[in-house]
């Protein structure tokens, strides 16, 4: 079983990202589950969302404590929350930032930084980074394929909004793959 933990702030779409990643994984024929964990339920408060992937049914229902992957939607969380806690050696951390990350990244973890906010502003017209980071996650991990992402995004956001979200995800995917 592989596990993902998403760190964000209330209102950034962390829960939606988890749900979309799980739906896309399911579209690819993988068992998946997504669920949130809230502390203070208010806009701007730190939140976590989780996704599990497995080739067999998933019966585990606990929070993810030792993820294979993390996504950090807001890099300011790094100084407020131990976002890297429990991240497995050989894991992948995807951080939305245009700056360098301090030495807080554990040894043996592959760090991918991407300016998801800039991409979201360009492709969506708003600084909502969740679908951009889904594309980066797919490229970095291989857990979900672009056609499954497109299908999940178009189902959730029909029409023009869906196409904009697909464009943001595809751009990030290609950027992380080194094709942009």
Q: Where are the domains of the chain?
A: 2-177
What dotted CATH number matches 2-177? 3.40.920.10
pLDDT digits (tens, 9 = 90+) for 56-86: 999 998 899 999 999 999 998 988 889 999 9
Contact 131, 90 (CB under 8 A): no
- Stretch 90-97: mean pLDDT: 96
Which residue intervals of the chain are DSSP H helices?
14-27, 77-80, 116-123, 130-141, 146-156, 160-177
As a whole number, the mean pLDDT across the chain is: 92
Round to whole Å and give the CA distance between 151 and 33. Answer: 17
Quickly count helices (H) and strands (E) in the chain. 6, 6
- Stretch 107-133: mean pLDDT: 96
pLDDT digits (tens, 9 = 90+) for 11-63: 889 999 999 999 999 999 999 999 988 665 667 788 999 999 999 999 998 89
Poorest-pLDDT segment among 1-15, 94-108, 144-158: 94-108
């Amino acid at each position: 079983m592989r596990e993902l933990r998403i760190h964000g702030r209330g209102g950034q779409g962390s829960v939606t990202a988890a749900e979309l990643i799980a739906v896309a994984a399911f579209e690819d024929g993988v068992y998946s589950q997504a669920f949130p964990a809230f502390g203070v339920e208010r806009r701007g408060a730190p939140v976590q969302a989780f996704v599990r992937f497995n080739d067999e049914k998933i019966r585990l229902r606990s929070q993810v404590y030792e993820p294979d992957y993390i996504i950090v939607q807001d890099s300011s969380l790094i100084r407020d929350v131990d976002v890297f806690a429990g991240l497995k050696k050989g894991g992948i951390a995807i951080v939305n930032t245009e700056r360098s990350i301090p030495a807080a990244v554990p040894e043996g973890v592959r760090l991918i930084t991407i300016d998801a906010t800039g991409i979201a502003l360009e492709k969506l017209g708003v600084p909502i980074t969740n679908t951009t980071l889904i594309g980066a996650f797919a490229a970095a991990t291989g857990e979900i394929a672009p056609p499954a992402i497109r299908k999940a995004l178009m189902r959730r956001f029909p029409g023009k909004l869906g196409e904009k979200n697909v464009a943001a995800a595809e751009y990030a995917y290609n950027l992380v793959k080194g094709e942009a």
